[in-house]
Structure 1
């Protein structure tokens, strides 16, 4: 047979604990009462028995009988009358040799009386004494001679004792209301313990200690075992919980729990997303924010209980590496779109040439091919003459074809001048140009629904300090309140349709700042103007060519 033991509930444990405390307090009160009762008894009764003993020791009959020893019956009437009149427990008279000559307890007559300190020297003494199986509070007073022959000599000893009360007698005699006090205290303790147990039960949502421990362990495992950051806020926007990954992604100090977001230096869009300020406190899904050069994806959920707002929980993911991969994929996508556009354009040209041949217009074929060749050479010469870095020049050629596919004309400004760059610098410059041109093309298409007159202009200027990239478009421009935020928000493509410029602008800003530069946007009479500046170094071939010149 298997015996199962039922564990006590939290409320039951609290009730038992509180009752134990009440019992301990009651025992302590009882002990104090007993100590006070004993002290009072020793003080009051000690004085009384001492006075009685002195009175009996000074009695002439006692002195005379001790000077001339007589049978015990001679002092018995006096001893018993003292016992009856004084209501004491015992009265004993001993001779000079310490042997009892008369006592209310006949069994001790002839025994040696134990004397207290100083009694043998003629001084009185009082205290507790256990003798003949009885524990009493006694007073011993020497009987001193008064005649000329025996003056000052100790003739014997008188001892009067009062039996010490029992514990129950002391408790009942300490106070007539002690039991009532103890009963009231016990009742209040029980009721208070029960109410406290119920309150604790409600506050712990009915969970038992082992369940609370399990939840805490599971919470720790989830918070610190996942690769995502977790930040919890209370309704006052104070951090109530954050795991190690969340603290690292947001660059928070170790003592961030309990502090306000403003105290932690979290402002702008990141604060708006964490607090739900831009969504009326509602949930936010896959919101992209740039924090200290890191691209973060945030998901925020509000937490409520019984209609009461408890705060919010936001998860964070590091998307920086993914954004880099997206840029690389974007470059491949751009290349594929360029090839598709060129193939489409080449197919149209071949169809035109084929049609002219079929209708016998050979001379028109020659003229058409010559016109196509001149237009292509004009674009190649324009870019190649002003942009000497092959990677950047190839990108501009590709973007020109891509723009033409979308009915947008891409111009390279006559003021453009760019030398050869190091491979790392050329890659960053190409990234900035590609992102700005892509956004400019989107803006130009949005500004000209029909496609007539849509254009994008690129201007590159290089000096000893770095490269300045200016991209203008014929689009509707950027709203003044978003002039700075378009580089901070890191909107996705869907969010860009709601007023942003896509995550490419946020990444462009990161590239410029990493190279000690910046990017700004202004509105002109014709559209938007993006200006990016970044420091670069010339390639070894360009440096050698400059030295040769």
Structure 2
């Protein structure tokens, strides 16, 4: 397609150029020949021999000799001198001397006018130049007509057109060859793609970029913004930074402190960095764009941190729910296996005693929780954690110093599950290597403040780490995927506008005290 279109452009250009040049040259050739005829006729009209011959019959023969010499020297069709009656005094055919001039276009020159015309005479059609002849007193005594054959004019024009045609053909040949190599070079530069394919890919990539949920901003090597997708515009709008069209603007004018231009200088990516855009927290990845080992720009992808926190917290909550249900299911299956064994052994009295004991324990354990914690979701979660701890052979004791009402906002329950779940899981891990695997969880609700205390008798936390354990990725334990639980706890506490304190001694245990504002709801479900 590229070869075809380039060749077509070359062909059309050459045809138009040839036509214009041919017409222009034809006009120029005709004008040049007219000028030649005019010059010759003027030379003859000013010749003393011609003037004397017209004034003196004895010298008329000199006119014929002179005009034949001029005709041969200038290569014109004829040079005819006539008197005021239009009678020829010279002619290429001497037999026609003395006869009237033929053509009918000589009348104006006999009235003293100089001009050119086209007409047909005894020698055929020609371009003619007429010039009056004056004596020394400026009295007209005759006229001269110089003719150039139109066949000669047309031959010159045709020869010129052939030259143009040959030149155009050669130009077309080289143009086609050039088009072929140009098309190959262009296609090689465009990875062998045709223009329509490039346009389709461009539109597809554009739609992909704008469909991405993450914000995307790209800059060129001059730090000018070249791309801002819809999600990036939404976040910039939220931050109040979209006052004008960002495309084509320097990155620091739109996003001061974003430091995307620093990537151009360093040429190294910066991943998962928390940044602040005029009060909006984001998590960004900034990467250089490298082509042929040269940094040609940089691109940043980012997402509203609030959205990411919500997603992480939701996933954490779901994981905790699933783990709690799994623990309860596992404990229930164990109890069923015990009952099945007793029944097969026909120990029916033992079956009755086991069920009674199990029911009493369940009523005591579950009833104690449900009587004090009025939120059924949070109560169920705590019961599930007790089952999970029992499965891990950990004694998890939960006590409520006061009744805990149901919250006015159900979202608070979700945050409390994140807080309690992560801290209890940490406590269970801390006591696993101890002989006494005891954990105590205490709740109290006073003056619209909920206090939660989780104390274990585990390994403890080094003093130098107690300030850093709430930082993402920091953990007192070894292993991958560590350092996220307490980070989420800290974020949930901050979201509820509460506080968290940690008290720990090595090999003695750790206690977390969480205090959060807690607005009670309309009542409890019994």
Do Structure 1 and Structure 2 share a fold, with TM-score over 0.5? yes
C-alpha distance after superposition, 1:98-156 (max 9, x if no partner): 6766543759944354259x85663534x5645445343x542222355xxxx655443
Distance 1:457 1:80 in 2: 136
Distance 2:16 2:479 in 1: 71
Q: 1:73 to 1:476 in 2, by over 3 A?
A: farther
**Native 8 Å contact 1:242 1:257 kept in 2:** yes
- Listed as ranges, the matches of 1:256-271 within 5 Å are none
Distance 1:500 1:450 in 2: 20
Q: CA deviation at 1:458?
A: 5.4
- Listed as ranges, the matches of 1:83-232 within 5 Å are 83-96=71-84, 102-104=90-92, 109-114=100-105, 119=109, 122-125=112-115, 127=116, 129-132=118-121, 134-136=125-127, 138-144=128-134, 152-162=138-148, 166=153, 169=156, 189=175, 192-207=178-193, 209=194, 213=196, 217=200, 229=212
Distance 1:141 1:325 in 2: 108
C-alpha distance after superposition, 1:270-326 (max 9, x if no partner): x9xxx98669xxxxxxxxxxxx9999xx9xxxx999999999999x9x998998699
Number of the residue aligned with 2:520: 538
What's the secondary structure of 1:540's corresponding residue? coil
Q: CA deviation at 1:11?
A: 6.0
Quick one: which of 430, 439, 445 aligns to 1:455? 439
Number of the residue aligned with 2:388: 402
Number of the residue aligned with 1:440: 423
Number of the residue aligned with 1:34: 25
**Native 8 Å contact 1:63 1:145 kept in 2:** no
C-alpha distance after superposition, 1:191-218 (max 9, x if no partner): 53343132123234445x4xx6468658
**Native 8 Å contact 1:140 1:160 kept in 2:** yes
- TM-score normalized by structure 2? 0.58
- TM-score normalized by structure 1? 0.56
Distance 2:248 2:29 in 1: 56
C-alpha distance after superposition, 1:75-119 (max 9, x if no partner): 544543432344433212344466766543759944354259x85
What's the secondary structure of 2:327's corresponding residue? helix
- Listed as ranges, the matches of 1:268-347 within 5 Å are 327=317, 331=321, 334-335=324-325, 337-338=327-328, 341=331
Q: 1:376 to 1:173 in 2, by over 3 A?
A: closer
Structure 1 unaligned spans of 5+: 1-9, 280-291, 488-494, 543-549
How many residue pairs get aligned? The number is 463
Distance 2:334 2:153 in 1: 117
Distance 1:180 1:497 in 2: 79
**Native 8 Å contact 1:517 1:532 kept in 2:** no
Q: CA deviation at 1:23?
A: 3.5
Distance 1:344 1:523 in 2: 37
Structure 2 unaligned spans of 5+: 273-279
Distance 1:178 1:531 in 2: 96
Distance 1:334 1:520 in 2: 24
Distance 1:529 1:261 in 2: 45
Number of the residue aligned with 2:472: 485
Q: 1:324 to 1:450 in 2, by over 3 A?
A: closer
Distance 2:202 2:455 in 1: 52
Q: 1:343 to 1:498 in 2, by over 3 A?
A: same
